[in-house]
Structure 1
Amino acid sequence: MRPTVHDIAAEAGVSLATVDRVLNNRPGVRAVTRGKVEQAIATLGYVRDVAAANLAKGRGYSLNFILPAGENSFMRGLEAEVRAAKAHLASERTEITIRCVPAFDASALADALAEARRQRPAGVAVVAVDAPEVVRAVEELRQEGIAVVTLVSDLPGSTRDHFAGVDNIAAGRTAGNLMGRFLGDRAGPVAVVAGSMLVRDHRERLEGFQAVMHECFETRLLLPVVEGQDDAALVEKLVGGLIERHPDLAGIYSLGAGNRGLVAALEKAGKAEAVCAIAHELTPHSRAALLSGTIDVLLNQDAGHEIRSAIRVLKAKADGLPVIEAQERIRIDIFLKDNLPNGQA
């Protein structure tokens, strides 16, 4: 059984009222008595149920999520996870609001963060764009005592509290190793399709990918990066152009979204089997392409885990509690058509 406040009182030899004062950091307790209570807490391994305490006091949490708008399937999946959490947590006095802003638009994102600051929530979770105005907006939130968690794409130069996302340099390095091994002795250059270099996750994936390709597969030609703005129609046009200019194209690393365009271009050109394609995020469209063989490997991050992590961290910050780093670490999943989840291989 989990220890209770009654167990703490008995262990320390004090009243329940004294235990309550110590747990809530209220005055009126002598230092020696406080020390006895804290020692009893440590001895018993007591962990306070802050959610239950807040429920009893009628205290709630207001959390703002700011996400990119558009047809990016992964981002829409992320939004669906936020909506599911919103419905689930309503009974726990957690109120979640969602705002979508144009993707890669630093000015619009800074404005949304400023609006969130005026609403004074307990915390804000945001898919960041790495720009000075966004860094300033995060700083202003923190100055108001509002916790900030970045989602998917980080903002390490800011005062944000936590990043809920994968190690994107490691993701890019993984893609580089897989690309080099899959291609083997097959001749031809490798192309990289990014969404935008304005977001750190895309820059870090590119950094990791290029580093491994140069270190381990230095004879392989890497073509200049093209930016598809995570737009399927633009990605299709760009990949079609790459295939026309480089008929011996051996591989494509799609480190952003817009993979419907990648798949369409490869299939239209009859290159679905000839070109090794490595992409990110398991969505219904990318799953189908993995099963058909047009995409060879998918690197995935668990959107549900990221949203749950962001909520846990924001609530912990609001309560002044430590963050359990191991619980919040987001792993990189590697999917082939043979190991898709839910038995759909």
Structure 2
Amino acid sequence: MKEPDANSPLTLRDIARQAGVSLATVDRVLHNRPGVRPDTVRRVKETIARNSFQPHVAGAELARGRFRRFAFVMPSGPNLFMQQIQSYLGEMSGWLSARRLAVEMVATDVFDAFVLASSLEALAGEYDGVAVVALDHPSVRAAINDLVDGGAKVVTLVSDVPSSRRHHYVGIDNIAAGRTAGALVGRLVGPRSGKVAIVAGSQGLRDHAERIFGFNQVMASEFPGLNVLPVLEGRDEDERSEQLMSRLLGKHPDVVGLYNVGAGTPGVAKALIDSGREKQVVFVGHDVTVLTRKLLLQGVMDAAISQNPGHEARAAVRVLLALARGEPILSEQEKIRIDIVMRDNLP
């Protein structure tokens, strides 16, 4: 039997084929009609759920004949968390096709305000919606406002620009995330005194700036015996982060805590291991990736402040679609939760 085109919307016939039942059986299950065995009902419902198939939504989109394009403006470079978001978007192809949606990736340097603004300006008139990992800068703010004025729906993803006219932000409460990291570092360091290092991608990224703000709040109010050093900016680059961290560890032998605000984790971890102090320095970072999982298991990293990349990917698309359709956003469904992950509770 011919496989359905991945770019075509899923149909009831596709669901029937995957579930191994007739089209009539699928119709009976959808309308709760009698005469279908419980095991078959379960199999059909599992197939529908696995494909995120909503026949009434798909039918309405097809009836409108409306095809929409969304752009996701993402950081270039080896940021594993951002790569996870892109991977989850790729897994949504069936869901997207059923709604006549296309999602396209635009990689750019999100640490350079003028490069990012130029990338956003190039999208004008091309897309119905744009999700962007944004730098909080006047040039970026102006580019976002221009997209909105041109009719595009704009969602900021992971890092916000609240002073812009963007329609919605999808991401965690970053001040709360920073406060959580501060509490973890302070409590895990315990009664020791000493210095605490902070490595960020850029303080121009609002998520990084807010995390640092929350972290410093907790350090100042609850752990005055710990001296927080000036922030190092590694641009989420492994080599740069490693060099900065190596110099800092060489200069400050009394560092007892480390907070890595963004990516660049391989470089930060390598500097710590090379110094031979990975068991003495409390290390808290962000996100559960292949690398942070390994570092947690090895005891190099003590905790990761985690946000679900799959949830962020799905939420961003759902919010853009709701905005494009003029439908309400289900705020509770799209709220991104903060998790604390340690070696003992790795998912």
TM value normalised by structure 1:
0.82
Q: 1:49 Cα deviation (Å)?
A: 4.7
Q: 1:57 Cα deviation (Å)?
A: 2.7
Which SS does the other structure have where 1:221 is aligned? strand
The CA deviation string for residues 29-74 of structure 1, in whole angstroms up to 9 with x for no partner, is xxxxxxxxxxxxxxxxxxx954431123322221111101001111
State the partner residue of 1:313: 319
Distance 2:288 2:123 in 1: 31
Kept after mapping to 2: 8 A contact 1:129/1:198: yes
Change in 2 beyond 3 A, CA 1:87/1:104: farther
State the partner residue of 1:289: 295
Q: Write the mapping of 1:159-238 to structure 2, written as runs, cut at 5 A.
A: 159-238=165-244
TM value normalised by structure 2:
0.82
Picking from 83, 102, 111, the partner of 1:104 is 111
Kept after mapping to 1: 8 A contact 2:71/2:130: yes
Task: Give the structure with higher Rg (CA).
Answer: 1
Pair 1:274-2:250 in alignment: no
Which SS does the other structure have where 1:190 is aligned? strand
Pair 1:78-2:68 in alignment: no
**Segment drifting more, 290-299 vs 183-192:** 183-192
State the partner residue of 1:130: 136
Kept after mapping to 2: 8 A contact 1:63/1:96: yes
State the partner residue of 1:58: 65
Q: Write the mapping of 1:239-250 to structure 2, written as runs, cut at 5 A.
A: 239-250=245-256
Distance 1:107 1:167 in 2: 26
State the partner residue of 2:342: 336
> What letter matches 1:131 in structure 2?
H
**Segment drifting more, 77-86 vs 109-118:** 77-86
Which SS does the other structure have where 1:251 is aligned? strand
The CA deviation string for residues 270-302 of structure 1, in whole angstroms up to 9 with x for no partner, is 111110000011111111000000000001111
Q: Write the mapping of 1:20-39 to structure 2, written as runs, cut at 5 A.
A: none
* Percent identity of equivalent pairs: 44
The CA deviation string for residues 109-150 of structure 1, in whole angstroms up to 9 with x for no partner, is 11221121131x221111001111111111111112211000
Aligned length: 294
Kept after mapping to 2: 8 A contact 1:70/1:103: no
Q: 1:103 Cα deviation (Å)?
A: 3.3
> What letter matches 1:77 in structure 2?
Q
Q: 1:87 Cα deviation (Å)?
A: 5.6
> What letter matches 2:61 in structure 1?
N
Distance 1:51 1:149 in 2: 23
Distance 2:59 2:111 in 1: 39
Which SS does the other structure have where 1:156 is aligned? coil
Kept after mapping to 1: 8 A contact 2:133/2:156: yes
Distance 1:133 1:188 in 2: 40
Which SS does the other structure have where 2:316 is aligned? helix
Picking from 287, 291, 304, the partner of 2:310 is 304
Kept after mapping to 1: 8 A contact 2:159/2:171: yes
Kept after mapping to 1: 8 A contact 2:110/2:133: no
Q: 1:315 Cα deviation (Å)?
A: 0.7
Pair 1:69-2:57 in alignment: no
Which SS does the other structure have where 2:344 is aligned? coil
Q: Which runs of 5+ in 2 are unaligned?
A: 1-54
Q: Which runs of 5+ in 1 are unaligned?
A: 1-47
Q: 1:178 Cα deviation (Å)?
A: 0.8
